[in-house]
Structure 1
Amino acid sequence: MTDHEVFTLLAMGVYIVLHILVIIRILLRPHREPASRVAWIVVMVVVPGVGLISYLLLGETNIGRSRVARVHKVLGTLPHVADTPGIDSETAKASIPEDYRHLFHLGRTVNGFHPVGGNRAHLLKDSNATIDSMIADIDAAQEHVHLTFYIWLTDHNGLKMAEALKRAARRGVTCRAMADALGSRAMIESKHWKSMAEAGVRIAVALPIGNPLLRPLKGRFDLRNHRKILVIDNWITYCGSQNCADPEFRVKAKFAPWVDAMMRFEGPVARQNQHLFATDWMAQVDEDLGDVIREPLRAGEPGFTAQVIGTGPTVRTSAMPEFFETLIYSARRELCISTPYYVPDEAMQSALCACARRGVKTTIIFPARNDSWIVGAASRSYYQDLLAAGVEIHEYEGGLLHTKSLTLDGNVTLIGSANMDRRSFELNYENNILLCDPKMTVAMRERQESYLESSHPVTAEEVSAWSIRRRLWNNTIAMLGPVL
């Protein structure tokens, strides 16, 4: 046997052993659904080389040990929000109708945030109105401005925001701005990012990628900070789907306009978003924001109860899908959802089907044209079962419907950054706000109704008429959902 043959046999042996070890890891890894294990093993067997590399790069929800340790250290350092002077969570809990108390109890198990009362909110008209409102609040800020965006573009709205931060910093307001390394890379690499720092804005990059060749050794590069948070003076905060960009969203202009929804909140719930921001900031910057969390709250006014739900790879596994499923099972009369990306697990799909089957008017609004062809195909693979169960599906025609919203029985609303897909549920850092208030829920429901007016209904007959080729494509993509 020649040296070349010996080397080839040894290489094949190492290759086979490595595949076996990875398959064992797939079977033993905690917090993975059976469907996900099966999907990964199928990929490993059918396309072994590609499967092996794919799993090593994308198979683990691994953000890096050092980052995990840093986040846990930060959480151990920061004071608990419930200890903030001026927060009365017991009164807030007592004000929640009995039918919905379990929702806020589940929410508390995610971050430890109690439901807090005394909040007011306003649903902004559209994306441009949201940016204008944010800038007006920044211009009126007296103490600090804390901002996080997943996508921050160097377009009209993006530069308006940068200029507002610079104005605030120059007049002595402490401004901290954080942007995701991947989603906002154009802004971070631009002269505008540097000019903010020169003006006194404290800037930070969330989840920096570093050397792309070495990044897989330290954790997945595609685990991102998808949050959209603005907190001003510990009292005003924003929550919803809006990135810092024009609705024309020129990086993907053919899908425009991006249609988003944001709520402006005033009250104690802002402190919970502040806690999320402080955790993200301190995980990247050696600066203690504990004193900001400890500041007593100003005297509030009567208002509704709300609670922040912040999830991510360093939070309890599957916290967000658990929360969505609990909301769905809690519906008694009406459930309306808008989401751009729908790639559910079996439990989520079953919850929606069961919701319609028990007589709840269940409506879901998707974009007719999705900027992700993979997610668009996977989403449509679930249409047939949803329609058969009685779920009403509508596809929005007026642009890319990017709003992530859920309204429940005219009383409860969930709004935020989380999509109903595996990326939001398992990989990205997200922030949502749960609120119990008929007035705000009516406002959100009216916005959803405006989406329906610009949508077309999807019928069971239409889906049944899809070609075999189209159904095969959709189902194949959906089958790979657990590995995407």
Structure 2
Amino acid sequence: MDKIYHILTLVSIGIYWLLVALVTFRIVFKKRAVSVSLAWLMVIYILPILGVFCYFLFGELNLGRKRAERAKAMSPSFGEWFTQLNHCQAHITENMGAHIYKIDELCNHRMGIPALSGNTLALQRDPKVILNSIITDIEQAQRSIRMVFYIWHVGGLADAVASSLIQAVKRGVNVKVLLDSAGSHRFIKSHWYQMMKDAGIQIVQALEVRPWRIFLHRLDLRQHRKIIVIDDTVAYTGSMNLVDPAFFKQDSGVGQWVDIMVRLTGPTVNVLAAIHCWDWEFETGVREFPQIPQCRIDDGLPRHPIQVVPSGPGMPEYLISQALILAIHQSNQSIRITTPYFVPSSELLSALKTAAQRGIRIELIIPHKNDSTMVKWASRSYYGELLDIGIAIYEFYGGLLHTKSVVIDQQFCLVGTVNMDMRSLWLNFEVTLAVDDIEFTQKLSRLQDEYIEQSYPVTDEEWQKRPHYNRLLERIYYLFNPLL
């Protein structure tokens, strides 16, 4: 019997090391950032068995066979739809600012999406104003409502939005709602979810999480976009989930979430509608395109060109990351960033360092308290090198600052759903607006001023006095940065 146990032990060890060797070769030969490969190698060697298991779950961008085939089949048709927009009057390249012109070139060449003029924008910052504005627009809907959100949470005015959608369906409005299965899991289990389905709302779980699917597709790949399109004439996007902050994560200890949304009219609305159609077909297989926008631009009206920059599996890789880095490299005076999660890729970090070394004034505003402990310590692991090259860091004390915004030279901005971490920039379904509108940009900049007033600057002198325990946690989580 001892010999049998001995043989079984040797066989088990042999099988395990063979598995580790195979996964190691898989990691080494997979084309990805070196930092990511090294992080995964560290995980599988430090965490026996568990590390290999985690790699199979989270290590590769596995959409599942059906979704991968669907995404491949969708791309040509959506590319043709987007390309048509290049021939309409709203695509006016000669009047574009320098910042958005280059991003228009990038998005046009990679996905066929042009920057379009003739839009109006309203920056909304108060959650009650945002939710009431959404409800008002839903109440006026006549034909269609498209929505996609990472989180829908029961309570407060969020329930009023659900009620207004039910009333819209009763008026004959076609309502399609796409919710991330993980982010909205509590809402999906609530009575509101079933009430909406029973009323006739087409409500679908994106990237559904099921125990038996854990080896069929990557579990931490999420639908993180926030888009509302009403009658293809009004749209919303930004950082705010479909939640009433007064009823959302009140026991998390980070304070109320602080967000913004942008309300749009004009041809860019139809582009956001097309992004929703992409997501809907990706999840359901049902194809539908919005109408081509009315592209006539009246003389004398503001141009307000906007570039919609989407990213996610099945779309051109790293498109938002490229647009962000391109904007940073074009800066001439200043860059100001607000983000709840700052775990930059090596490319983004290098772009920020280069800008700072060119003499660009860079300010980073992030929350003092974070709902993710790992991200909190990983973010702080960068403080030292950022402070050394003159980048100003402010920690926001007015709640969990969830706004994702970048203001360049007080003239150009990016605003949307993407965090400054590798999960958002490399993996998730995200959308960002690149806005070439000085008036809107300066409103956003003034809001960032208010964020700074509710923040404390992190000084190099104080940072050097932090406890050794903090330094240890920073170094540990720094090693896992590529996987966060």
* Fold conserved between structures, TM > 0.5: yes
Match status 1:447 vs 2:447: yes
1:288 maps to 287
> What is the alpha-carbon distance in structure 1 between the residues aligned to residue 40 and residue 425 of structure 2?
18
Tell me which amino acid in the other structure corresponds to 2:6: E
SS in 2 for 1:331: coil
CA RMSD of aligned residues (A): 1.8
1:108 maps to 108
1:255 maps to 254
User: What displacement does 1:348 show?
Assistant: 1.4
1:16 maps to 17
> What is the alpha-carbon distance in structure 2 between the residues aligned to residue 358 and residue 312 of structure 1?
32
> What is the alpha-carbon distance in structure 2 between the residues aligned to residue 475 and residue 389 of structure 1?
20
Pair 1:378–1:85, CA change in 2 (3 A): closer
2:376 maps to 376
1:127 maps to 127
Pair 1:53–1:121, CA change in 2 (3 A): same
What does residue range 350-361 of structure 1 map to in structure 2 within 5 Å?
A: 350-361=350-361
User: What displacement does 1:85 show?
Assistant: 10
Tell me which amino acid in the other structure corresponds to 1:369: K
Gaps of at least 5 residues in structure 2 are none
User: What displacement does 1:249 show?
Assistant: 4.8
> What is the alpha-carbon distance in structure 2 between the residues aligned to residue 107 and residue 252 of structure 1?
39
1:155 maps to 155
SS in 2 for 1:472: helix
User: What displacement does 1:478 show?
Assistant: 1.3
Contact 1:404 1:416 in 2 (8 A): yes
Match status 1:275 vs 2:274: yes
Pair 1:427–1:472, CA change in 2 (3 A): same
Contact 1:249 1:258 in 2 (8 A): no
Tell me which amino acid in the other structure corresponds to 2:277: A
User: What displacement does 1:123 show?
Assistant: 0.3
User: What displacement does 1:300 show?
Assistant: 5.4
- 1:55-94 deviation per Cα after TM superposition (whole angstroms, max 9, x unaligned): 1111112222221111222334445134259833542x22
1:219 maps to 217
> What is the alpha-carbon distance in structure 2 between the residues aligned to residue 283 and residue 313 of structure 1?
10
User: What displacement does 1:359 show?
Assistant: 1.4
2:229 maps to 231
> What is the alpha-carbon distance in structure 2 between the residues aligned to residue 167 and residue 299 of structure 1?
34
1:25 maps to 26
Pair 1:426–1:99, CA change in 2 (3 A): closer
Gaps of at least 5 residues in structure 1 are none
Contact 1:157 1:244 in 2 (8 A): no
SS in 1 for 2:364: strand
Match status 1:146 vs 2:146: yes
Aligned pairs, how many?
A: 478
Q: Name which of structure 1's ranges 223-232 and 199-208 shifts more when overlaid on structure 2.
A: 199-208
What does residue range 347-426 of structure 1 map to in structure 2 within 5 Å?
A: 347-426=347-426
SS in 2 for 1:148: strand
1:342 maps to 342
What does residue range 430-469 of structure 1 map to in structure 2 within 5 Å?
A: 430-469=430-469
Contact 1:85 1:295 in 2 (8 A): no
> What is the alpha-carbon distance in structure 2 between the residues aligned to residue 77 and residue 362 of structure 1?
41
Pair 1:194–1:47, CA change in 2 (3 A): closer
Tell me which amino acid in the other structure corresponds to 1:35: S
Contact 2:260 2:403 in 1 (8 A): yes
Tell me which amino acid in the other structure corresponds to 2:465: A
Contact 1:310 1:429 in 2 (8 A): yes
Pair 1:295–1:334, CA change in 2 (3 A): closer
1:429 maps to 429
- 1:388-415 deviation per Cα after TM superposition (whole angstroms, max 9, x unaligned): 1111110111100000000111221100
1:94 maps to 94
- 1:137-188 deviation per Cα after TM superposition (whole angstroms, max 9, x unaligned): 1111121110111000011122111011111111111111111111111111
SS in 2 for 1:80: helix
1:74 maps to 74
> What is the alpha-carbon distance in structure 2 between the residues aligned to residue 263 and residue 109 of structure 1?
26
User: What displacement does 1:286 show?
Assistant: 4.3
User: What displacement does 1:430 show?
Assistant: 0.5
- 1:344-378 deviation per Cα after TM superposition (whole angstroms, max 9, x unaligned): 12221222122122111111100011111110111
User: What displacement does 1:338 show?
Assistant: 0.2
> What is the alpha-carbon distance in structure 2 between the residues aligned to residue 179 and residue 379 of structure 1?
28
Q: Name which of structure 1's ranges 227-236 and 72-81 shifts more when overlaid on structure 2.
A: 72-81
> What is the alpha-carbon distance in structure 1 between the residues aligned to residue 63 and residue 49 of structure 2?
24
What does residue range 160-179 of structure 1 map to in structure 2 within 5 Å?
A: 160-179=160-179
Pair 1:86–1:154, CA change in 2 (3 A): farther
Contact 2:89 2:296 in 1 (8 A): no
Pair 1:272–1:100, CA change in 2 (3 A): closer
> What is the alpha-carbon distance in structure 1 between the residues aligned to residue 348 and residue 50 of structure 2?
30
Tell me which amino acid in the other structure corresponds to 1:297: Q
Contact 1:248 1:256 in 2 (8 A): no
> What is the alpha-carbon distance in structure 1 between the residues aligned to residue 61 and residue 287 of structure 2?
28
Contact 1:115 1:305 in 2 (8 A): yes
Q: Name which of structure 1's ranges 57-66 and 180-189 shifts more when overlaid on structure 2.
A: 57-66
User: What displacement does 1:252 show?
Assistant: 4.8
> What is the alpha-carbon distance in structure 2 between the residues aligned to residue 349 and residue 84 of structure 1?
34
Pair 1:41–1:132, CA change in 2 (3 A): same
User: What displacement does 1:9 show?
Assistant: 2.3
- Percent identity reads 32
2:478 maps to 478
Tell me which amino acid in the other structure corresponds to 1:21: L
SS in 2 for 1:415: strand
> What is the alpha-carbon distance in structure 2 between the residues aligned to residue 453 and residue 176 of structure 1?
40
SS in 1 for 2:262: strand
> What is the alpha-carbon distance in structure 1 between the residues aligned to residue 350 and residue 71 of structure 2?
34
User: What displacement does 1:209 show?
Assistant: 1.4
User: What displacement does 1:297 show?
Assistant: 2.6
User: What displacement does 1:112 show?
Assistant: 2.1
> What is the alpha-carbon distance in structure 1 between the residues aligned to residue 126 and residue 110 of structure 2?
30
